[in-house]
């Protein structure tokens, strides 16, 4: 089986690609070959190719049996024309169009918990629009909506390490999250792929619902920083979010502030980690 994976050098992508490369032929479009060589276990089963935005043509040329789309951004870079609409929706649209021409066996899409076409957040709105395009294509699909994914490469740890150098404390918005372990996310992707489980949407969460304050305290503990975390109402962070639209390395953007309107926890309307894997790991176990 030949599998094309977009986003293979990302946080989640490297886990999925490195596992699948043990058994399957992989096609990995990447922008940065040097990064790919550092984070991916390259072997005779992996084929690195140059990423191109003409993804429909790329798909037809490479002729995969399965596509796993992990493309996604948390922040936009409008100077480089990297927007939610382009990365989440347009790139998905092109991948699907190419997949339809080939009538591939399975299209696996990474979405996000809380994806909603009516959301005020463009991140969540574009994730939902991409989901709808996948489902309307007629392809066999699987869609994953994870909560915050915990693993050593989680960007939160890197961000906290950076900001710990300039601030004596952190603000945490009031709200709840239900983090999921990176290994559970990886194994859920593998399960639907290898057992031909199709045409479902999954919400991926761990067993523990915690506050953002607890999440921030966990992140600080992981990086070895003893900083105070102060819980504040979401509205308190609005000025930071507004200013963040004009600062490249801002800790909070306006779109991320909009996302905080609702808790990031599983709704219970969809199957999840337990239904796919039988057991759920503690999201906070980094001993691997």
CATH number for the domain harbouring residue 84: 3.40.50.720
Pick from 116, 129, 76: nearest CA to 256: 76
Q: How many independent structural domains does the chain possess?
A: 1
66, pLDDT greater than 90 = yes
- Residues 6+ positions from 78 with CB-CB distance below 8 Å: none
- Residues 6+ positions from 119 with CB-CB distance below 8 Å: 125, 128, 258, 259
Q: Is the pTM of this model over 0.85?
A: yes
**Is the residue at 136 inside a domain?**
yes
What angle do helix axes 182-194 and 11-20 make, rounded to 10 degrees?
A: 50
Give the pLDDT score at 288: 81
**Is the residue at 256 inside a domain?**
no
**Is the residue at 157 inside a domain?**
no
259, pLDDT greater than 90 = yes
246, pLDDT greater than 90 = no
Tell the residue number behind the tokens 């906290």, with chain if given: 160
79, pLDDT greater than 90 = no
182, pLDDT greater than 90 = yes
**Coil, helix or strand for 145?**
strand
Structural domain that includes position 10: 2-150+179-205+266-277
What confidence category does residue 25 fall into, taking pLDDT thresholds of 50, 70 and 90?
Answer: very high
**Is the residue at 55 inside a domain?**
yes
**Is the residue at 213 inside a domain?**
no
**Is the residue at 238 inside a domain?**
no
**Is the residue at 26 inside a domain?**
yes
What angle do helix axes 122-136 and 91-102 make, rounded to 10 degrees?
A: 10
- Among 13-22, 49-58, 76-85, 257-266, the minimum mean pLDDT is found in 76-85
What percent of the chain shows pLDDT beyond 70?
100
Give the pLDDT score at 247: 83
**Is the residue at 77 inside a domain?**
yes
């Amino acid at each position: 089986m030949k599998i094309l994976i977009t986003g293979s050098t990302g946080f989640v992508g490297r886990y999925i690609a490195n596992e699948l490369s043990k058994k399957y032929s992989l096609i990995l479009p990447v922008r940065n070959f040097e990064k790919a060589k550092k984070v991916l276990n390259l072997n005779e089963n992996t084929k690195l190719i140059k990423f191109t935005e003409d993804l429909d043509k790329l798909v037809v040329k490479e002729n995969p049996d399965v596509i796993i789309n992990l493309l996604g951004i948390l922040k936009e870079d409008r100077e480089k024309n990297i927007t939610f609409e382009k990365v989440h929706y347009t790139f998905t649209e092109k991948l699907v169009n190419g997949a339809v021409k080939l009538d591939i066996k399975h299209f696996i899409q990474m979405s996000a918990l809380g994806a909603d076409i009516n959301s005020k957040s463009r991140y969540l709105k574009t994730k939902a629009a991409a989901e709808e395009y996948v489902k309307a294509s007629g392809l066999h699909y699987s869609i994953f909506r994870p909560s915050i994914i915990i693993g050593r490469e989680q960007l939160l740890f890197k961000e906290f390490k950076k900001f710990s150098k300039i601030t004596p404390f952190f603000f945490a918005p009031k709200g709840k999250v239900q983090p999921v372990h990176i290994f559970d996310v990886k194994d859920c992707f593998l399960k639907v792929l290898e057992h031909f489980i199709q045409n479902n949407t999954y919400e991926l969460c761990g067993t523990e619902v915690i506050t953002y304050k607890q999440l921030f305290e966990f992140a600080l503990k992981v990086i070895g920083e003893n900083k105070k975390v102060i819980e504040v109402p979401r509205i308190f962070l609005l000025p930071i979010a507004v200013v963040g639209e004009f600062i490249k390395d801002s800790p909070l953007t306006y779109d991320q502030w909009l996302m905080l309107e609702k808790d990031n926890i599983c709704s219970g309307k969809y199957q999840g980690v337990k239904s796919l894997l039988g057991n759920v790991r503690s999201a906070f176990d980094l001993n691997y």
